[in-house]
Amino acid sequence: MAKKDKNIEVTINDIERGNQPIQQVMIGKRLIGEVIPDNDRFKAIMVNDQTNFFVRSQEEGLAMIIQEYHLHQH
């Protein structure tokens, strides 16, 4: 029997912290990660375990956070 697909609500919030633009990645009401500019690249941070990934674009950072969340979801 096949599993039924679940729809998951992913929200991206643009905020500013210390005069720096930050994108927060939310699943439902839970913050799972942030994408922060870091000179000529971006840093994707997983909030739950403080894992950092350095990426070339915001889109790559968002994809990395969502991918890591699904990989380690319990």
Does position 74 have pLDDT exceeding 70, yes or no?
no
Q: Is residue 22 within 8 Å of residue 35, measured between CB atoms?
A: yes
What pLDDT sits at residue 1? 65
At 31, list the tokens.
Answer: 């913050």
Taking alpha carbons only, the member of 27, 30, 16, 24 closest to residue 62 is 24
What pLDDT sits at residue 3? 76
* Span 5-16, pLDDT tens digits: 777 788 999 999
* Span 9-64, pLDDT tens digits: 889 999 999 999 999 999 989 999 999 999 999 999 998 887 899 999 999 999 99
Tell me the one-letter amino acid at 48: N
What pLDDT sits at residue 70? 83
- What would you measure as the largest C-alpha separation in the chain, in angstroms? 52
